[in-house]
């Protein structure tokens, strides 16, 4: 992709797009100046970034919808501008709206800064009550996505196709936060929390977020060969769903907690899954984990699901030190390598974990696994991010399997905002946020989203009335009739509707 950074060309591209179409940076500046622009800042759960973007697209007049990335990848910050296609709260149809989403730091950034309102402002420091760093969307900060001299993706028809790239940050409050799990769980020590009181938050669940175990393509092919899904002579992976390999949940648990490692005389590494007939060097293959940092909701969900932590007593399973030393067989600062014992990478966003798997590990022909929200598609928009999802103990991470409870690596995601006067959202913003939380996770909305987004989201049983068996085909296709107890991720999934 060729990004033209000449201001003259960028301005020409903006002019060519025209005000009759997308809500461009120049138009955002104008609306901001005349007071008509409604700006909403959301932080937290990167696993929910596409769900938020998908619902913003549902609220938009199609020809006004624009997507903004921070840098060229949008790994840490994204934004969506549009004019409302209907009245939402007190905002009339046609109102220009800018929703800025911070992914960096994960779910804890959708909780902690909302309750730490008494901390002093520290410029450039994230997580203080007086603000976080959010992307600045303006004509001065953002340039058009240009290919061969022509601006593309403005207006955008896909939340994963940016029309603009932005380069500046600003310090400010988030109006609301998103988290993959309930706010209290993010305050547990294992998840990087400090046991802050979250009772001041207006928090509620709105959707079930599906997680999957992903591996880089080199490991995917080796697993396919080991499980007889492709020929031993195959040089490329088979993308057919029937050829999707599986990893036992117990192996993943061992890898995440540092109990599985490569290059040991005890041979308890990848050789437990892959025979030497497939890979003669399998005993020396390092067990690499591309994981989210503490504070991530994805990591908190992994701690609960794979280590019953903090549910079964905490430090006996995944101690917080595991984030640095890589478990009992790791060493400080160990990196992703093809050979060795264990290597742990920590990413502050989903995009960084994707890059760890598909670029870092894949680039050195290593074997690596990680946990990623299932709404992410490694083949989105005709690309290839270098990783694939695998089955977990024989069950594919698919929405239908969550609905029938054969796959239960899914947790209730929440949206919250402060009720404290220091940083509670204004009434009109709160009304907009309430609409988003009440509707973003319903089957009627999920059924209209991009198929990639649909794969990782399941409507909660609370979003419909009556028995699941009596619902319409649409509701049954996108809604669960089982869930954990709301607000308590440590409880098991139980079918009750």
| pLDDT tens track for 271-280 | 999 999 999 9
**Residue-level pLDDT at 140:** 98
The topology under which CATH files domain 210-403 is D-Maltodextrin-Binding Protein; domain 2 (3.40.190)
- Residue extents of the structural domains in the chain: 7-204+411-495, 210-403
pLDDT, tens digit (0-9, with 9 covering 90-100), for 357-392:
999 999 999 999 999 999 899 998 889 999 999 999
Q: How sure is the predictor about 314, in pLDDT bands with cuts at 50, 70 and 90?
A: low
User: How many whole angstroms separate alpha carbon 178 and alpha carbon 342?
Assistant: 32
**Residue-level pLDDT at 315:** 52
Q: Give the burial class of 249: count Cβ atoms within 10 A of its Cβ; 0-12 exposed, 13-18 middle, 19 or more buried.
A: middle
Give per-residue burial for 308-320: e unless 16+ CB within 10 Å, then b: bbbbeebeebbbb
User: How many whole angstroms separate alpha carbon 82 and alpha carbon 15?
Assistant: 17
Q: How far, in Å, are 57, 78, 206, 493 from residue 160 at the CA level? A: 11, 10, 22, 31
Q: Give the burial class of 145: count Cβ atoms within 10 A of its Cβ; 0-12 exposed, 13-18 middle, 19 or more buried.
A: buried
Q: Which of 73, 24, 75 minimizes the C-alpha distance to 46?
A: 75
Average pLDDT of every residue of the chain = 88
**Residue-level pLDDT at 60:** 97
* Token pair belonging to 387: 């990783």
By three-state DSSP, how is residue 472 classified?
coil
pLDDT of residue 117 exceeding 80: no
* Token pair belonging to 456: 């990782």
Cβ–Cβ < 8 Å for 272, 250: no
């Amino acid at each position: 992709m060729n990004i033209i950074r000449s201001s003259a060309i960028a301005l020409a591209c903006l002019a060519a797009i025209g005000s009759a179409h997308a809500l461009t940076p120049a138009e955002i500046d104008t609306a901001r100046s005349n007071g008509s622009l409604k700006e909403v800042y959301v932080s937290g759960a990167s696993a929910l970034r596409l769900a938020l973007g998908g619902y913003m697209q549902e609220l938009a007049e199609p020809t006004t919808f624009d997507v903004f990335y921070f840098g060229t990848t949008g790994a840490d910050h994204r934004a969506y501008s549009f004019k409302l296609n209907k009245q939402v709260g007190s905002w009339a149809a046609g109102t220009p709206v800018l929703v800025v989403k911070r992914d960096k730091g994960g779910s804890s950034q959708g909780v902690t800064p909302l309750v730490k309102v008494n901390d002093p402002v520290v410029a450039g420091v994230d997580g203080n009550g007086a603000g976080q760093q959010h992307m600045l969307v303006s004509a001065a900060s953002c340039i058009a996505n240009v290919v061969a001299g022509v601006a593309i993706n403005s207006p955008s028809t896909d939340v994963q196709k940016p029309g603009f790239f932005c380069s500046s940050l600003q310090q400010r409050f988030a109006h609301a936060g998103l988290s993959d799990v309930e706010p209290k769980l993010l305050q547990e020590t294992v998840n990087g929390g400090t046991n802050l009181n979250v009772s001041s938050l207006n928090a509620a669940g709105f959707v079930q977020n599906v997680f999957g175990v992903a591996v880089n393509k080199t490991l995917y092919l080796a697993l396919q060969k080991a499980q007889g899904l492709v020929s031993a002579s195959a040089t490329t992976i088979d993308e057919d769903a029937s050829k999707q390999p599986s990893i036992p949940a117990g192996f993943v648990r061992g890898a995440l907690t540092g109990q599985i490692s490569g290059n040991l005389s005890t041979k308890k590494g990848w050789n437990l899954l892959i025979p030497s007939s497939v890979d003669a060097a399998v005993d020396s293959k390092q067990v690499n984990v591309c994981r989210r940092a503490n504070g991530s909701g994805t990591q908190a969900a992994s701690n609960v699901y794979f280590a019953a932590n903090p549910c079964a007593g905490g430090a006996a399973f995944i101690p917080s030190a595991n984030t640095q030393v890589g478990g009992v067989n790791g060493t400080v600062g160990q990196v992703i390598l093809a050979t060795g014992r264990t290597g742990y990478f920590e990413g502050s966003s989903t995009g960084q974990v994707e890059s760890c798997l598909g670029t870092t590990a894949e680039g050195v022909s290593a074997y690596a696994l990680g946990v990623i929200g299932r709404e992410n598609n490694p083949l989105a928009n005709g690309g290839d991010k270098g990783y694939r999802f695998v089955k977990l103990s024989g069950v594919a991470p698919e929405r239908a399997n969550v609905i029938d409870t054969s796959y239960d690596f899914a947790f209730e995601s929440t949206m919250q905002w402060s009720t404290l006067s220091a940083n509670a959202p204004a009434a009109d913003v709160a009304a907009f946020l309430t609409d988003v939380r009440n509707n973003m996770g319903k089957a009627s909305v999920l059924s209209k989203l991009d198929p990639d987004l649909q794969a990782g989201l399941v409507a909660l049983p609370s979003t419909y009335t009556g028995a699941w068996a009596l619902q319409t085909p649409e509701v049954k296709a996108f809604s669960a009739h089982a869930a954990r107890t709301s607000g308590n991720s440590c409880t098991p999934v139980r079918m009750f509707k």
